[in-house]
Amino acid sequence: MLDPRPGQIETMGDGECVTALRDHDLGRIAVVDRGVRPLIFPVNYFFDEGVIVFRTAPGTKLDLSLGASVGFEIDGWDPVQGVGWSVLVKGIAHDITQPRGAPTGRMRYWPVRPVAPGSRQHWVGIWANEITGRRFRTEARRPPLMAQRA
């Protein structure tokens, strides 16, 4: 990731966002319950070809995501460097458990590895239609010793 200038929030380029999505495997999906209430669930994922793939068991996450607009987010915060970033994906989720030819057939071979226990036989792909990212570095703090000397 490019080194952000201190004290301002910067927009991440498309390439940076894609790299961040490729370099991580834990994100969060947001779905909407009953048309008004957003819910957030952490998921392990694999990203390629503009599609985020995760696996899940039957339940709320599956019911509310299929065929719907969903949000997907990854972020990071390094307290030592004072650098933070986040990438937000907007897309539509589709069931790819029973793939119908390419490209969904290929996706079923992607290394999607949930760390949570339990059978997760449903495969879901989020086709990204918008990917944006922001990063920042906190204002440089003067080291205490230097401050005393100044």
Residue 1 is a binding residue for its own copies (CB under 8 A): no
Of 45 and 72, nearer to its own copies (C-beta) is 72
**Which positions from 104 through 143 interact with its own copies, judged by CB under 8 A?**
115-118, 136-139
In angstroms, give the least distance from the CB of 119 to its own copies: 11
Residue 84 is a binding residue for its own copies (CB under 8 A): yes
Residue 38 is a binding residue for its own copies (CB under 8 A): yes
In angstroms, give the least distance from the CB of 101 to its own copies: 28
Q: Which of 50, 88, 99, 127 binds its own copies (CB under 8 A)?
A: 88
Collapsing DSSP states into helix, strand and coil, what is residue 123?
strand
Residue 7 is a binding residue for its own copies (CB under 8 A): yes
Of 44 and 99, nearer to its own copies (C-beta) is 44
At residue 59, φ and ψ (nearest 5 deg) are 150, -165
Q: How far is CA 16 from CA 76, 86, 130, 134, 135, in A?
A: 14, 11, 14, 10, 10
The residues pairing with 126 across neighbouring beta strands, listed in sequence order, are: 52, 93
Neighbours of 95 (CB within 10 A): 15
Residue 26 near residue 36, CB atoms below 8 Å: no
Residue 32 near residue 63, CB atoms below 8 Å: no
Residue type, 8: Q
Q: Which of 45, 47, 54, 72 binds its own copies (CB under 8 A)?
A: 72
Of 88 and 99, nearer to its own copies (C-beta) is 88
Helix (H) or strand (E) holding 26: strand 26-33
Chain residues in the site for its own copies (CB under 8 A):
6-9, 26, 28, 30-32, 35-42, 68-73, 75, 77, 82, 84, 86, 88, 90, 115-118, 136-139
